[in-house]
A and B are shown apart, each in its own frame.
Chain A
Amino acid sequence: MTALAVERLAVVLDGARVVDGVTLELEEGGWLGLIGPNGAGKTTLLRAVAGLVPYEGSITLAGDEVAGLRRRQLARRVAVVPQLPVIPPDTSVLEYAVLGRTPHLGYAGSPRAADVTAARSSLARLDAAHLADRRLGSLSGGERQRAVLARAVAQDADLLLLDEPTSALDVGAQQQVLELVASLRAGRGLTVLSAMHDLTHAGQYAERLVLMDGGREVASGRPHDVLTEELIARHYGAEVRIVADEQAGIAVVPLRPGVAAEERVS
């Protein structure tokens, strides 16, 4: 079943068409990766799906138009992990995860025992149960990202939007976070739409990729159709070598433009 359908989506910010006629579809339980150079419109597309910016065209969640849903209804169905989450440093990880229960409470309602339990189990699912009493300000980058993911999971939404979930993480933490998202997807049938900077990771984790440039969709399909040397050169202006490996799948290796391998070694 279609979890998310975006049709001829356009978003105008300060007179510029930042997203311009994008159409995409995401099956329930799927993982779609948005790739593209800076300013391609990936974040804005995610914000439109989250109901945070006005849009033209249509965005439907299992048939319901996003613009027609109330804030709280939408928040029960779509959880967002922003690129740069605002981290209140003195809030405990548990209290932060409980914030994810907000759409399930009344207007100014207080979390009940069941909500705290739900937040604790989200933390456990992200291997972060032991962090519950720590202050957010004292966490490492990887731990913090797990806390943010736990908050999103506690929201109990079917669609998870990730905006560059691994930026500013070391390679180990990146892998850990992406593996956790993959296991959430498998375990809970979560549908994932993510903007991704690291093309190798995008190819490894997303089932399908949409390459955006200048607000438009310029290519889409399975990773090995989209991650080609030619497309990346054209849209990123980068010289790369695509390495297909039995185990790694596709790896995108940047080259130094105009410098041959022998020169680089010597």
Chain B
Amino acid sequence: MLRAGSLRGRLPARDAAALPGISVRWALAAVLFLVVSVLLGLAIGPVSLGAGGVTREVLSHVPLLGVSSPLSPTEDTILWELRAPRVVLGLLVGAILAAAGASYQGVFRNPLADPYLLGAAAGAGLGATLVIAYGLGGSAGRDLRPVAAFAGATAGVAIAYALGRSVGGGRSTTTLILAGVTVAAFLTALQTFVQQHRADTVQEVYAWILGQLETSGWGDVAVIAPYVLVSSIVLLWHRRLLDVLAVGDDEAASLGVPVARVRLVVVAAATLGTAAAVALSGLIAFVGIIVPHAIRLLAGTSYRIVLPLSLVVGGGFLVLADLLARTVIAPAELPIGVVTAFFGAPFFAVILRTTRTVGP
């Protein structure tokens, strides 16, 4: 994602015929943040493996290095079968939520937009609640829940988009956002009704809504990875068009951009990734807002910069948040949404206070 070409951006001997891309400093910082988050996520847990131990175990799988793993077979299993899938799931979910949030902010020119803006959260919530409340108990219900959440999220956005298009012809972003609010309110009403109707499941529904990265192993990762990959590629591909949309629909159109189509493609891609993430992790709040904005404030506002860095930093951020979620009150777990907001909000406040103000 961080192509060598864009890394050249702010080197001292700057090319007058190139636009500044991601500065070397921020590219390195983002990658370092990701690597450290992953190492900590792998190393820390009920059985401590140590960052050094994890590093040597990983290197022992690289041929010709001659590094031998210090981990016992049990520790090896803990690392590869328990922690690694969860860390990778966190990476994927965090990356796509941050990138989808950034894209939504661009496509709606609204700094408060997040991936749930058009009814993805409400739809997923309704889907999951229906399964939890009326679904089969046991493993069948657990298998069905992601499917229902995914279907609910995509259906919610599709209905909101169709409603917005039918009223505003796709011309006004405000119409689309209002349609999203309308659909979300309606779906949330249904969800609350179902939840109250089956009061015995309230706790389980609530836990799902706050989000968690519980995983049963690599299977979950394999399910979500293709969606995240496709969604990321499409969003990255549109990064320059998101910059053009910053001058408004009319001017973008007069610059030759098919605005309604670009918006549809970006919303569809962001929704696909978000729905897949939500299906497995519940409604993790805040990542889609805080990560892109922190990047804008620190590294630059062009989507050439914001989108790739959101993927990297969003992944690292969620792995760290998950680490806290499962260690702070161990052996119990905090919902990860609580962690992202509790630690993310003050951090964001600091960035906000120490930098200038920036729009979407």
Q: Which of A21-29, A74-82, A186-194 contacts B (4 or more CB under 8 A)?
A: A74-82
Q: Does A91 belong to the interface (CB within 8 Å)? A: yes
| Pairwise interchain contact B256-A75, C-beta atoms closer than 8 A | yes
With a cutoff of 8 Å between Cβ atoms, the chain A residues found around residue B251 in the complex are 80, 82, 85-86
Smallest Cβ-Cβ distance to B252: which chain A residue: A102
How many chain-A residues does the 8 Å CB contact rule pick out? 42
User: Which of B15, B17, B244, B358 contacts A99, CB < 8 Å?
Assistant: B244
With a cutoff of 8 Å between Cβ atoms, the chain A residues found around residue B239 in the complex are 108
| Pairwise interchain contact B240-A94, C-beta atoms closer than 8 A | no
Q: How far is the CA of A74 from the CA of B296 in the complex (A)?
A: 33
How many A-B contacts are there with CB distance less than 8 Å? 90
Q: Does A95 belong to the interface (CB within 8 Å)? A: yes
With a cutoff of 8 Å between Cβ atoms, the chain B residues found around residue A82 in the complex are 250-251, 254
Q: Does B247 belong to the interface (CB within 8 Å)? A: yes
Q: Does B258 belong to the interface (CB within 8 Å)? A: yes
| Pairwise interchain contact A88-B247, C-beta atoms closer than 8 A | yes
| Pairwise interchain contact B18-A116, C-beta atoms closer than 8 A | yes
Q: Does A224 belong to the interface (CB within 8 Å)? A: no
| Smallest beta-carbon distance A112→chain B, Å | 8
| Pairwise interchain contact A110-B240, C-beta atoms closer than 8 A | yes
Q: Does B238 belong to the interface (CB within 8 Å)? A: yes
Q: Does B19 belong to the interface (CB within 8 Å)? A: yes
With a cutoff of 8 Å between Cβ atoms, the chain A residues found around residue B20 in the complex are 92
Q: Is the interface of A mostly helix, strand, loop or mixed?
A: mixed
| Pairwise interchain contact B253-A71, C-beta atoms closer than 8 A | yes
Smallest Cβ-Cβ distance to A110: which chain B residue: B240
With a cutoff of 8 Å between Cβ atoms, the chain A residues found around residue B253 in the complex are 51-52, 71
| Pairwise interchain contact B255-A99, C-beta atoms closer than 8 A | yes
With a cutoff of 8 Å between Cβ atoms, the chain B residues found around residue A71 in the complex are 253, 256-258
Q: Does B135 belong to the interface (CB within 8 Å)? A: no
Q: Binary interface profile of B, 338-353, with partner A (CB < 8 Å = 1, else 0)?
A: 0000000000000000
User: Which of A51, A85, A91, A116 contacts B17, CB < 8 Å?
Assistant: A116
List residues of A whose CB falls within 8 A of some B CB: 47, 50-52, 71-76, 78-80, 82, 85-92, 94-96, 98-100, 102-103, 105, 107-111, 113-114, 116-117, 120, 155
